[in-house]
Structure 1
């Protein structure tokens, strides 16, 4: 083979080697792109689920993306745009077979969550939640930061009932309540630590008020309310209206209301982290 032939042969071999190298690079690049696309899809699906969007923003979600109660609570936090620490109850009194959902509002120094239950999964802040036939309110949480400790204390209006008089009633566990009446209502009030508690009933059903106070006292022997700084207030109602629990974390006030059953209100409050 002459010199020119040898040069041509060498050029052919170099071209073949270069082509094979490009093929390998292209295969590797395609594999990497495929892996990247898969990861993006997995991340998107994960984010869609935790945001509670289910499948659409304006329609009732489908059951193939049912979230657990804990997942819904985590998703609620992502909806709150606030400078405050996002503190929610860890448990809510859902009826069997119902699904937890919610509507939210928030500003820098305020947030509100209306917890709801529905027959089918419904995304958080979905338009369908405005329809009372689609979802039922089970509780509301309002958290607000006030300008001063004095302002937040006004929202609690803590009282030491032992100083106010009234008929003394033994509630058990070494706790005494004080019974009073007025404007058609019978109240039995007592203190536990930094908490002031009241159970209300109609004057014609005052025994039911005492019964509720004793039931609450028993429950709180094994379940702990949040530690208030400095005080907290519990108002329980035999008639399942006006139940509310509020407490301070200095300038910040937490309020639970719109709970029908007074014992459910206590269960929600005691599920908060101290």
Structure 2
């Protein structure tokens, strides 16, 4: 009788052990499954976060890489205005532009910089322009003619510049003035005797260039003023009249100023 009782107790104990073992294993598996799920979710979340961040960075990069072209903006703003198509400069740097547009005039300043900027960027106020363009409309042809400030003086001694062009030379206050005509254009060149500037050499260079290139034909008058004693764009100015309209282009260098005007020859 005791053997039966002991045998029954042993069976009950074995049964209980057999039931508890798989239960413990299942709980651990569930715990491991939850841990794996949490880890996977966290990794996916991090991946998605990085993906979103990369997308945002790509968008920012695309926006920052969007080409800034002040010259294209200028043309878009003034589709019917005669503008220079050639602004000689260092092509490896950015051309930036400031524009002042009014009812009867358009003034443009050109800047050469390392960074491209939008048209009329405020930071251009602290920069120095290398070239200029201006268009003015007047109420009469006479008023426009006065604005050209045509100057020609055939006095003084003759200086042959080549290509059958004769200039007239006069000296005053340490300067030498060479004056000559080509068609309706008058060209006045000033050089400094004190600084030893060779105005004749530059005059011949101008004549040689104009022998190959055609300036706009002034419907009335045209004036080219070259001042070797100055620096900046005001030292080389090309001004001409087209009826009631007067165009002016200027560049810090002489031949580039002429090239700007030539590019406007319709």
**Fold match, TM over 0.5?**
yes
Q: Superposition pairs for residues 78-117 of structure 1, below 5 Å?
A: 78-80=76-78, 85-117=80-112
1:273 paired to 2:252: no
Q: Does 1:193 align with 2:183?
A: yes
Structure-to-structure mapping, 1:149-228, within 5 angstroms: 149-161=141-153, 164-204=154-194, 208-228=198-218
Residue 255 (structure 1) aligned with residue 257 (structure 2): no
Unaligned runs of 5+ in 2: 1-61
TM-score of the two chains, using structure 2 as the length reference: 0.70
Does the CA-based 8 Å contact 2:133-2:247 persist in structure 1?
yes
Alpha-carbon distance in structure 2 between the residues aligned to 1:121 and 1:184? 42
Q: Number of residues paired by the alignment?
A: 202
State the TM-score, normalized to the length of structure 1. Answer: 0.68
SS at match of 1:121: coil
Please tell me whether the aligned partners of residues 214 and 265 of structure 2 are also in contact (alpha carbons under 8 angstroms).
no
Separation in 2, partners of 1:101, 1:77? 13
Check if 1:122 corresponds to 2:117. Answer: yes
* Alignment gaps of 5+ in structure 1: 1-53, 56-61
Residues 193/206 of structure 1: CA separation in 2 closer, same or farther (3 Å cut)? farther
Matches for 1:23-34 after TM superposition, within 5 Å: none
Could you say what secondary structure the match of 1:265 adopts?
helix
Shift of 1:210: 0.7
- Runs of 4 or more, structure 1, over 6 Å off, are none
Q: Deviations over 1:33-66 (max 9, x none)?
A: xxxxxxxxxxxxxxxxxxxxx96xxxxxx45415
CA RMSD of aligned residues (A): 2.1
Q: Secondary structure at the match of 1:90?
A: coil
**Which 10-residue stretch deviates more, 108-117 or 238-247?**
238-247
Secondary structure class of the residue paired with 1:125: coil
1:272, 1:120 → 2: CA distance? 27
- TM-aligned CA distance change 1:98 to 1:63, over 3 Å: farther
1:206 to 1:166, Cα distance in 2 relative to 1, 3 A:
farther
Given candidates 72, 75, 78, the residue that maps to 1:77 is: 75
Pairwise CA distance, 1:78:
2.9
